[in-house]
Structure 1
Amino acid sequence: MDNDYNSTDEDEDSLLFACQILGFSTITGAVFIIIFIVSVIGNILLLFILFTFEKLYLVTKIFIINLACSDLIFTATIPFWAVYHLHHWIFGDFMCKFIVWVHFTGLYSSIFVLTAMTVDRFCTVVLNNWPNNNQRKKQCAIGVCVVVWVISICISVYDAFKMEVSDDYYCEVSYSEELGYYFQVPLLIFVPIAIIIFCNCAIIYTILQTARRTRHKALSIVFCIVVAYTICWGPYNIVLLIQDLYKPKDCEELERLNIVYNICRMLAFSHCCMNPLLCMLTQKFRSHLFYLLRRRVGINRERAN
């Protein structure tokens, strides 16, 4: 087969289809299943620890609870994408739109909550302009989270209606909406990430100036969550833009781009597992987890006796 594209769009689309790499479908489906299991266990355990041991009036804890909920909503769609990779889309047009709506609700709410969390830290550390009253802090955090969820749900509805099931059982964005879609999604990710990077740079500069180690420790978990999100979702959205703007000239280039896309997509989806793992790195969360495990073992021994 000739690797050079013809000048017509029809020949180009035909060759693009002929060059598709099918070997990643099984790998991606299996990885998605593993991500689903780890995320469900980790985020449910994180929520249980937060509601059992942590004081909910603390702003950071409220944001982390909302992040865990966002991750669980996003995780709920992963089995459908796993089946999609293994057997194409078999759930119909309504479920295509509904799952995309749930998927993007989890995605958008996660990045918006993370942005709000970072701005909160920026106001507290850099501007030193945040209410001292704990009740006032709690009200502000809850109000911000409500706004985040409303915006995320509304934007996701708009995204869902762009999706359709094609004749060959692909749940994909409508061809007429494709250009706007692949610009909109990275835009809604890159703008918050730009805000997050700016705020964190200012926070780090302020911390280095004051040299307050206790404050540094309090901010470390937020900083790690931000870094994890950027590492996981940044490359995937860059690849989306590349796919939309750059057309490979031969099958070899298409294969390389497809490999990079699949690897970045698996990395992006794995983010829903990261927040529980990062929280468990802190001494407080680990002690709570070990306490729960010891109590569970003690209950099982009592039942055995």
Structure 2
Amino acid sequence: MANNPPVSGIGGGEEDTRDVYYLCDELFNFDTISAAFFILIFIISIAGNCLLLCVLVIYEDLKNVTNVFILNLACSDLIFTATLPFYAVYRLHHWVFGDFACKFITAVYIVGLYSSIILLTAMTVDRFTTVVLHNRPSNPVRRQRCAVAACVAAWGISIAASVSDAINVKVETTSDGNYCVGPSDVVDDKLGYYLQVSLLFFLPFAIIVFCYSAILKTVLQTKTQRKRHRTVVVVLGVVVAFFICWGPFNILLFIESFYEPEECADERLEIAYAVCRILAFSHCCMNPLLYTLSQKLRSHLFKLLRCEKIRQKNKERVIGQSTSVYPNVAFIAQNSVVVMEPK
């Protein structure tokens, strides 16, 4: 993080200049803390999402529409999580992985980010049609196909968006080291980026706010629907967590593109950007924690952690062995009687 050049104070003297430079130089560097948080988030996300996938595969019905979306969201989080070790090293030692890795990791990052928001939007629309419009298709297969089609579309759009970003980023070498950066001076590229963020972040956000406003209004008006739509609470928590994590980061990106800081403000903006980035990246480990709001998923998780299936098999094996003891005892007793018989 480069320090701002010294500027004159109010009096314009040399002492004031040194004081301003000293204050700028003392601002805290978040690179080490960011790298530590990235590794911590990586560990929690890998453990949580892998456990969630195991619960879904072993205990849940994957034909259920909500489970289809949750399964794809877990995969999306794991894809995003795979980039965190690279960014941790980047914060500590600049970019040391080469130009191809710069493009590939950027593409993986974009796929993980945008697939999450599109899947959340599709899941919200599904809840909206079910709760508000009461549009339950008579044929469950049709609803399943719609969910699968939405997931395929989410992955397709995310991959398409990642290709353009991967093409634009490159490794730049400076006196401080190598950096994996995107276009900074090309107006068309920047406009394309802002259009992409608007369509794939803020537009889904508007759709989700509209849908959930109607969903909550409908659920709260009818007491009988509160129990029927407990899934709404879980999905709402997932959506709120996404925008709490990613909202400040994306808003700050827009502010940073139009705001020209002066003196030490650039350093403070970098600190705010680092904090928002940690918050945004932490989202990939939030969903497994939020899914524990579901009592059914929570009970399945406890069963998985206690290895009940393995214990059940061991119990059956012990019972089988205990039942085989009786014929062995009878056989031994019979043999002992034979031995004791007089000839």
TM over 0.5: yes
Contact 1:186 1:238 in 2 (8 A): no
Distance 1:146 1:218 in 2: 23
RMSD: 2.2
- Residue 306 (structure 2) pairs with residue 294 (structure 1): yes
3-state secondary structure, aligned to 2:63? coil
Q: Is the 8 A contact 1:186 1:240 kept in 2?
A: no
- Alpha-carbon distance between aligned partners in 2 of 1:132 and 1:20, rounded to the nearest angstrom: 66
Structure-2 residue corresponding to 1:7: none
> What is the CA-CA distance between 1:133 and the residue it aligns to?
2.1
Range 83-92 or range 136-145, more displaced: 136-145
**Partner-residue secondary structure (3-state), 1:166:** strand
From the superposition, tell whether residues 197 and 62 of structure 1 become closer, same or farther in structure 2 (CA, over 3 Å).
same
> Equivalent residue of 2:170, what SS?
strand
The answer (yes or no) to whether the contact 2:220–2:226 under 8 Å persists in 1 is no
Q: Distance in 2 between matches of 1:3 and 1:298?
A: 72
- The aligned counterpart of 2:146 is 140
Q: Determine whether 1:176 maps to 2:188.
A: no
Q: Distance in 1 between matches of 2:27 and 2:69?
A: 40
Q: What letter corresponds to residue 218 of structure 1 in structure 2?
A: T
CA distance in 2, matches of 1:184, 1:43: 31
Partner of 1:215: 228
Determine the structure 1 residue equivalent to 2:326.
none
Matched-pair contact (CA < 8 Å) for 1:101–1:156: yes
SS at match of 1:176: coil
Among candidates 22, 33, 36, match of residue 27 of structure 1: 33
Q: Secondary structure at the match of 1:170?
A: strand
Q: Structure 2 vs 1, CA of residues 20 and 191 (structure 1 numbering), >3 Å: closer, same or farther?
A: farther
Q: Could you report, residue by residue, the CA deviation over 1:25-66 in whole angstroms, capped at 9, with x for unpaired residues?
A: 100000000000000110011011001111111111000000
Instruction: Name the SS of the counterpart of 1:171 in structure 2.
Output: strand
Deviation for aligned residue 1:163: 0.3
Q: What is the aligned partner in structure 1 of residue 50 from structure 2? A: 44
1:75 equivalent among 70, 81, 96: 81
Contact 2:183/2:190 (<8 A) preserved? no
CA distance in 2, matches of 1:19, 1:92: 30
Shift in CA distance, 80/3, structure 1 to aligned 2, threshold 3 Å: farther
Change (3 A) 1:19 1:96: farther
Q: Is 1:117 matched with 2:123? A: yes
**Whole-angstrom CA distance in 2 between matches of 1:151 and 1:53:** 31
Q: Secondary structure at the match of 1:129?
A: coil
Is 1:127 aligned to residue 133 of structure 2?
yes
Residue 20 to residue 153, structure 1, CA distance change in 2 (3 Å): farther
Give, in whole Å, the separation in 1 of the partners of 2:300 and 2:191.
46
Partner of 1:101: 107
CA 1:83/1:297 → structure 2, altered by over 3 Å: closer, same or farther?
Answer: farther
**Judging changes above 3 Å, is the alpha-carbon distance between structure 1 residues 30 and 184 closer, same or farther for their aligned structure 2 residues?**
farther
1:245–1:199 CA distance, 2 compared to 1 (3 A): same
2:244 is aligned with what amino acid? I
Q: Distance in 1 between matches of 2:37 and 2:26?
A: 20
TM-score normalised by L of structure 2: 0.79
Shift of 1:259: 1.5
Query: Is the 1:58–1:134 contact (alpha carbons within 8 Å) kept by the matching residues of 2?
Result: no
- Quick one: higher RCO (CA 8 Å, sep 6+), 1 or 2? 1
Checking the alignment, whether the CA contact within 8 Å between 2:69 and 2:123 is kept in structure 1 is yes
Partner of 2:327: none
If you compute each CA radius of gyration, which structure gives the higher value, 1 or 2?
2
Tell me the percent identity.
53
- Which consecutive unaligned segments of at least 5 residues does structure 2 have? 1-5, 10-20, 319-343
- Relative distance call for 1:3 and 1:224 in structure 2 (3 A) is farther
Task: Give 2:288's aligned residue.
Answer: 276
Q: Residues 109 and 148 of structure 1 are in contact (CA less than 8 Å); yes or no, is this contact kept in structure 2?
A: yes
Match of 1:238 in 2: 251
Q: State the AA in 2 paired with 1:137.
A: R
Cα contact 1:182–1:241 (8 A) shared by 2: no
Using the TM superposition, give the Cα deviation of residue 3 of structure 1 relative to its aligned residue in structure 2, in angstroms.
6.4
Q: Matches of 1:37 and 1:99 in 2, distance apart? A: 18
Q: Which moved more, 1:169-178 or 1:289-298?
A: 289-298
Q: CA deviation at 1:78?
A: 0.7
> Which residue does the alignment assign to 2:279?
267
Q: Match of 1:270, as an amino acid?
A: S
| 1:162 equivalent in alignment to 2:168 | yes
Q: 1:20 and 1:243 mapped to 2: Cα distance?
A: 22
